[in-house]
């Protein structure tokens, strides 16, 4: 069975396209008849109470009833449903094709106008029943009024009796739960992938690039426990923090062009590297006050411009997976959240103030004001004088049982152990001792490190009043990260699981709701509990998942019916196909093609190029004040047009060590008159500034075309529009709940086919090991190339093909490598 016979409508999503398609099919009736022949239709008219009422009550009545009336349509009584909606008749007895309701339930889930709009699509047999019911005259027993049926709570299976003793045991328990949860589901469970495929998959996932030949050989030399050994090695690898900073940056929507963005990025990177517990990290983010350099976590608050409403929406959606933000403007359309709940939550941010420096935005900081800015009723519901400050209230339930389950006891023990270890380190470390420790090493008294440390010691009290810490946000942070708050750990586990397995227990990942399906609730609970028990240790979570059989599933073979494929993948019994993240693909090409270092001797690629340069004329032009920077006037491309593949790295260390501390301290010592005078002077200076004049000249020069590429992991984020990373799905990180676009595009293919990076990676540099191998024995060289790019040896058939392609020439080898780098096997995970 193919895709198209199941979904009779060809693949369209826009209405014009749909119309176009349907015009070709002559009429909608035709479509319906095609559909009804493809689906089981019972010969008799369905029974309303038994067959129809449950469908309508579970799927429709929620939004089409007295209290909601979406689209002007009510479906709770016969009279109301026959009145129809704002624009059309919902039901025309005897004529499904004229019944708007039927037309809409027939659409595919991705089509426009499909009903139900939210929640699960109707099953084909349910659609067939509705069809038959309308065809038979839409009989509705007199006086029957429909009421909403709440979705059933997902069924859970038994949790393991005892706590696991190791990550490996936890992974085995996880697989056991998953198996039991799938017991009554009809899925194909695929075999685990080979160990070398596992090496490739986990290296890509955990450190963000493909393995090198050296790593392959090392892995092969290990014994039976090699998978566990590998996971341990990868989670301790220096690139681990870089790779997962990308994950966190997507989640937190970190943008380099927002005040504090780069500092936040560096802070997250450092936190992962130092294995900071996730709950501690989140508490720091939510409660931070101050400036981005002294307290980089404040970048989170600045990211939403310290706006209470925005912060409430993003904080609950990001850290708890609850889209309460929809209740900002109206009661949540698809959930039970009311507007007041949202305002109560927003009030935790209601005293947060962002202070902008007088002269430039380098001195932006947040602090806690005294006035509550969140007022109730909302602006559009009441006059200004009626609106009163809101008292913060946490609208989410936290378990209250007195008995502590084992995972919370384990959490407390883990936390205690950590605290002890930390205080042990610093037992005798007074501030003076710390300063002494710095001094001998740096020697000079004006050393910046020392200076900063001294400044810090002086400012301890100063901080207290300028950057007043936020009591309200501290409270909120405690509530959110409470181990008894079910939402917190599960929301994060769901994201990490999806990143590693391909999709979440809940999709979209940040939409936990009674009205959104939750798959495998017990598996999720178990992982969440183990995550809490580990003291919210991120690496433990990653280790348990990657050590499980669920992580090792292979993909279903071609020819598997699409419905079986979908079901098996959705139930984590088979691996979906995943493409490498843009950053990972970039770094993998760099590694596979040895582009991190020069692969040609100096001068081997000399060539003459003509290009345009801008040279100063030596003249200055006076420019009026206020000439702002406008949209970029320079062409977005470099002269050779390949700028879209460059990666300029941010130095995370230097970002967190700037001099802003001192500036602020000196600012505070000035009188207001002084500040005013300085400001005037600055304004005068700014009013007319001298700008150097440039002219464009065309020059011809000889360049040594021997490029190196660095990692894309630490680039400013997000990359510029149309950059390689963006084309391969890096999000803009503006929209809340924006996920990576994993679709294929023509632009991606063009960048891979004709891009400079793939081209340079393919060429066989004389300094590469492959070059020597090729001279010695092309068979060895072919094996090497396959291993370097695809982490496997070629099949005999592939090898024969490769010999014809390579034909003992470096050019032939470049052709082979180019094809391997462009192949779907390279880009998609094994």
Partner 1 sequence: MSCNDYLYTRRRALKAFSASILGIPLSQVLANTNSNKAKAEHVILFWNSGGMSHLDTWDPKPGRKVQGEFNPIKTSVDGMEISEIFPQLAKQMHHAALIRSITGTNGDHGRAQYELQTGFNQSPNILHPGIGSMVVHEREPLGDLPALVSISGQPARAGYLGQKCEAYFVGRPGQKDPYLSFPEGISHARGMQRLQILEKMNRRNAAEKGAAELKASQTALKDAVNLMESPALKAFELDEENPKTVEKYGNTEFGRGALLARRLVEKGVRFVQVNRGGFDNHGNIFEAMRNHGATMDPAIASLISDLKANGMLSKTLVVVLSEFGRTPRINDGGGRDHWARCFSCMMAGGGLKGGSIVGASDEDGMAPAERPVKVADLHATLCHALGIDVNKELETPQGRPMRLVRKEAAPIQELFA
Interface pick for partner 1 out of 203, 295, 314, 529 (rule CB under 8 A): 314
Residue choice 80, 565, 714, 792 for contact with partner 1 (CB under 8 A): 565
Among 4, 19, 141, 685, binds partner 1 (CB under 8 A): 19
Binding region for partner 1 (CB under 8 A) out of 192-200, 234-242, 426-434, 754-762: 754-762
Binds partner 1 (CB under 8 A): choice among 243, 473, 792, 827? 827
Our finding on whether 754 is near partner 1 (CB under 8 A) is yes
Q: Is the CB of residue 593 less than 8 Å from the CB of residue 821?
A: yes
Interface pick for partner 1 out of 236, 606, 809, 823 (rule CB under 8 A): 823
Least Cβ distance, residue 635 to partner 1 (angstroms): 4
Pick 533 or 715: Cβ nearer partner 1: 715
Find the shortest distance in angstroms from Cβ 605 to partner 1.
Answer: 10
Q: Decide: helix, strand or coil at residue 57.
A: helix
Window 421-450: residues binding partner 1 (CB under 8 A):
none
Scanning residues 628 to 657, which ones bind partner 1 (CB under 8 A)?
A: 628, 630-633, 635-637, 640-642
Q: What is the DSSP letter of 516?
A: S
Q: Which of 33, 53, 307, 373 binds partner 1 (CB under 8 A)?
A: 307
Contact flag: residue 127 with partner 1 (CB under 8 A): no
Q: Which of 6, 9, 28, 466 binds partner 1 (CB under 8 A)?
A: 28
- Please identify which residue in 360, 558, 610, 671 interacts with partner 1, judged by CB under 8 A: 558
For residue 358, CA distances in Å to 362, 464, 678, 680, 683 come to: 10, 21, 11, 11, 12
**Which residue number, 22 or 398, has a Cβ lying nearer to partner 1?**
22
- For residue 408, CA distances in Å to 157, 415, 529 come to 21, 10, 8
Using left for φ > 0, alpha for ψ between -120 and 50, and beta otherwise, residue 147 falls in beta
Taking the complex as a whole, the smallest distance from the CB of residue 110 to partner 1 amounts, in Å, to 5
Measure Cα distances from 55 to 7, 61, 128 in Å: 21, 9, 11
In the complex, least distance from residue 590 CB atom to partner 1, rounded to whole angstroms: 17
Nearer to partner 1, 543 or 763 (CB): 763
Per CB under 8 A, 382 contacts partner 1 = no
Give the Cα separation of 554 and 546 in Å (integer).
Answer: 14
- Angle at which helices 521-533 and 486-501 cross, to 10°: 110
- Residue 172, CB half-sphere, CA atoms under 13 Å: how many? 9
Contact 107, 32 (CB under 8 A): no
For partner 1, what does the binding mask look like between residues 693 and 722, x meaning CB under 8 A?
----------------------------xx
Residue 304 binding partner 1, by CB under 8 A: yes
Residue 128 to residue 124: CA distance in whole angstroms: 6
With CB under 8 A as the contact rule, the residue among 71, 124, 154, 369 that binds partner 1 is 71
In angstroms, give the least distance from the CB of 188 to partner 1: 14
Contact between 598 and 767 (Cβ < 8 Å): yes
What are residue 368's DSSP bridge partners? 352
Residue 498's closest CA among 407, 583, 570? 570
Q: List phi, psi (to 5°) of 613.
A: -125, 160
To partner 1, the closest distance from the beta carbon of 238 in angstroms equals 31
The residue within the footprint of partner 1, chosen from 6, 9, 22, 353 (CB under 8 A), is: 22
Whether residue 625 contacts residue 686, with contact meaning beta carbons closer than 8 Å, is answered with: yes
Q: Which is nearer to partner 1, 47 or 742 (CB)?
A: 742
Buried-exposed string 576-585: b where 16+ CB fall within 10 A, e elsewhere: bebbbbbbbb
Q: How many residues bind partner 1 (CB under 8 A)?
A: 120
Nearest distance, CB of residue 242 and partner 1, angstroms: 23
CB neighbours of 673 closer than 8 A, spacing ≥ 6? none
CB nearer to partner 1: pick between 98 and 454:
98
CA–CA distance from 705 to each of 153, 602, 701 (Å)? 63, 9, 12
Report the C-alpha gap between 721 and 786 in whole angstroms: 33
What percent helix, strand, coil does the chain show, rounded to 5? 50, 5, 40
Stretch that binds partner 1, among 45-53, 371-379, 407-415, 737-745 (CB under 8 A): 737-745
> Which CB, 249 or 326, lies closer to partner 1?
326
- Least distance in angstroms from the C-beta of 269 to partner 1: 24
Do residues 693 and 619 make contact, with C-beta atoms less than 8 angstroms apart?
Answer: yes
Strands 606-624 and 688-704 come out as antiparallel
Taking the complex as a whole, how short is the minimal distance between the CB of residue 103 and partner 1, in angstroms?
5
CA-to-CA distance for 517 and 609, rounded, in angstroms?
59
Among 182, 262, 352, 748, binds partner 1 (CB under 8 A): 748
Q: Contact with partner 1 (CB under 8 A): which of 152, 380, 624, 672?
A: 624
Among 310, 482, 663, 678, binds partner 1 (CB under 8 A): 310
Instruction: Give every CB contact of residue 74 below 8 A, 6+ residues apart in sequence.
Output: 64, 65, 66, 80, 81, 83
Binding to partner 1 (CB under 8 A) within 96-125 occurs at 97-98, 100, 103-104, 107, 109-114, 117-118, 121
> Under rule CB under 8 A, which residues in 759-818 are in contact with partner 1?
759, 798, 801, 805, 811, 815-816, 818
Alpha carbon dihedral 255, 259, 260, 266, in 10-degree steps, equals 40
CB of 553 to partner 1, least distance (A): 13
Region 503-542 residues binding partner 1, contact defined as CB under 8 A: 503, 507-508, 511
Q: Establish if 46 lies at the interface with partner 1 (CB under 8 A).
A: no
Task: Report the residue number, 60 or 532, with the smaller CB distance to partner 1.
Answer: 60
- Choose between 233 and 253: whose C-beta lies nearer to partner 1: 253
28 or 450: whose CB is closer to partner 1? 28
With contacts defined by CB under 8 A, name the span among 19-27, 193-201, 207-215, 524-532 that binds partner 1: 19-27
CB atoms within 10 A of CB 299: 25
Q: Which positions from 467 through 506 interact with partner 1, judged by CB under 8 A?
A: 502-503
List of long-range contacts for 233-238, beta carbons under 8 Å, 24+ apart: 234/202, 234/203, 234/206, 234/207, 235/206, 235/539, 235/542, 235/543, 237/206, 237/207
Q: Which of 701, 693, 553, 720 is nearest to 632 (CA)?
A: 720
Is-contact 804 816, C-beta < 8 A?
A: no
Tell which one of 30, 417, 431, 753 touches partner 1 (CB under 8 A): 753
The residue within the footprint of partner 1, chosen from 603, 618, 626, 796 (CB under 8 A), is 626
Residues of this chain, 326-355, that bind partner 1 according to CB under 8 A: 326, 334
What part of residues 576-615 is at the interface with partner 1 (CB under 8 A)?
A: 576-577, 579
Packed helices 308-320 and 471-481: angle between N→C axes, nearest 10 degrees: 20
Q: Which of 298, 555, 595, 782 binds partner 1 (CB under 8 A)?
A: 555
Nearest to partner 1 of 233, 579 (CB atom): 579
Calpha distance 132→137 (Å, rounded): 9
3 state SS of 584: helix
When binding is defined by CB under 8 A, the residue of 756, 768, 782, 787 that contacts partner 1 is: 756
């Amino acid at each position: 069975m193919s895709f198209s016979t199941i979904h009779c409508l060809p693949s369209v999503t826009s209405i014009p396209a749909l119309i176009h398609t349907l015009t070709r099919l002559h009429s909608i009736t035709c479509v319906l008849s095609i559909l009804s022949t493809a689906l089981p239709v019972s010969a008799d008219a369905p029974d309303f109470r038994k067959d129809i009422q449950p469908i309508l009550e579970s799927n429709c009545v929620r939004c089409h009833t007295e209290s909601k009336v979406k689209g002007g349509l009510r479906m709770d009584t016969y009279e109301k449903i026959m009145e129809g909606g704002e624009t059309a008749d919902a039901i025309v007895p005897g004529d499904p094709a004229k019944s708007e309701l039927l037309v809409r339930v027939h659409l595919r889930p991705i089509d426009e106008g499909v009903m139900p709009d939210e929640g699960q699509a109707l099953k084909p047999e349910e659609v067939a029943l509705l069809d038959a019911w309308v065809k038979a005259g839409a009989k509705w027993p007199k006086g029957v009024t429909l009421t909403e049926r709440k979705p059933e709570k997902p069924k859970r299976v038994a949790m393991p009796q005892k706590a696991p003793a190791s990550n490996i045991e936890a992974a085995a328990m996880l697989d056991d739960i998953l198996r039991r949860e799938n017991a009554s589901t009809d899925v194909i469970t695929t075999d685990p992938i080979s160990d070398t495929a596992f090496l490739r998959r986990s290296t890509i996932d955990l450190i963000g690039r493909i393995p090198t030949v050296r790593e392959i050989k090392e892995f092969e030399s290990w014994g039976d426990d090699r998978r566990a050994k590998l996971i341990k090695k990868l989670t301790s690898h220096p690139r681990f923090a870089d790779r997962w900073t990308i994950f966190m940056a997507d989640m937190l929507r970190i943008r380099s062009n927002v005040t504090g963005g780069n500092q936040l990025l560096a802070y997250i990177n450092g936190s992962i590297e130092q294995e900071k517990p996730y709950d501690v990290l989140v508490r720091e983010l939510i409660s931070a006050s101050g400036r981005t350099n002294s307290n980089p976590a404040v970048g989170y608050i600045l990211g939403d411009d310290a706006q209470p409403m925005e912060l409430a929406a993003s904080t609950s959606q990001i850290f708890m997976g609850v889209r309460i933000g929809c209740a900002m403007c109206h009661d949540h359309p698809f959930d039970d959240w009311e507007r007041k709940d949202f305002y109560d939550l927003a009030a935790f941010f209601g005293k947060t103030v962002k202070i902008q420096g007088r002269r430039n935005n380098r001195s932006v900081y947040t602090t806690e004001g005294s006035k509550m800015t969140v007022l109730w009723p909302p602006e559009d519901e009441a006059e200004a004088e009626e609106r009163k400050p809101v008292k913060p209230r946490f609208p989410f339930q936290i378990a209250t049982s007195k008995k502590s389950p084992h995972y919370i006891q384990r959490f407390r023990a883990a936390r205690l152990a950590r605290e002890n270890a930390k205080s042990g380190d610093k037992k005798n470390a007074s501030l003076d001792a710390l300063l002494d420790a710095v001094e001998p090493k740096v020697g000079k008294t004006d050393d910046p490190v020392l200076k900063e440390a001294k400044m810090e010691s002086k400012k301890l009290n100063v901080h207290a009043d300028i950057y007043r810490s936020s009591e309200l946000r501290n409270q909120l942070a405690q509530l959110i990260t409470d181990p008894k708050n079910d939402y917190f750990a599960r929301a994060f586990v769901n994201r990490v699981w999806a990143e590693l397995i391909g999709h979440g227990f809940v999709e979209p990942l940040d939409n936990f709701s009674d009205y959104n399906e939750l798959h495998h609730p017990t598996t999720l609970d178990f992982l969440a509990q183990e995550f809490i028990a580990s003291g919210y240790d991120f690496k433990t979570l990653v280790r348990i998942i990657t050590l499980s059989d669920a992580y090792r599933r292979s993909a279903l073979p071609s020819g598997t019916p699409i419905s079986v494929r979908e079901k098996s993948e959705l139930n984590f019994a088979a691996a979906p196909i995943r493409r490498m993240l843009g950053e990972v693909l970039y770094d993998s090409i760099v590694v596979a093609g040895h582009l991190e270092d020069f692969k040609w001797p100096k001068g081997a690629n000399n060539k003459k190029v003509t290009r345009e340069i801008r040279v100063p004329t030596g003249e200055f032009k006076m420019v009026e004040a206020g000439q702002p920077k406008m949209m970029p006037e320079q062409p977005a491309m470099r002269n050779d047009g390949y700028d879209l593949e460059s990666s300029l790295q941010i130095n995370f260390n230097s970002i967190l060590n700037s001099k802003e501390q001192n500036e602020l301290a000196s600012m505070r010592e000035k009188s207001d008159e002084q500040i005013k005078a300085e400001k005037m002077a600055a304004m005068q200076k700014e009013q007319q500034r001298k700008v150097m004049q440039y002219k464009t000249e065309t020059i011809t020069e000889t360049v040594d075309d021997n490029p190196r590429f660095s990692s894309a992991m630490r680039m400013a984020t997000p990359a510029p529009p149309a950059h390689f990373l963006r084309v391969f799905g890096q999000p803009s990180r503006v929209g809340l709940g924006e996920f990576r676009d994993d679709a294929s595009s023509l632009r991606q293919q063009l960048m891979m086919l004709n891009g400079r990076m793939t081209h340079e990676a393919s060429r066989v540099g004389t300094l590469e090991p492959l070059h020597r191998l090729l001279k010695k024995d092309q068979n060895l060289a072919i094996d090497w190339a396959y291993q370097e790019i695809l982490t496997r040896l070629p099949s005999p058939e592939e090898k024969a093909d490769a010999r014809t392609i390579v034909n003992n020439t470096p050019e032939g080898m470049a052709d082979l490598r180019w094809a391997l780098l462009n192949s779907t096997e390279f880009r998609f995970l094994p």
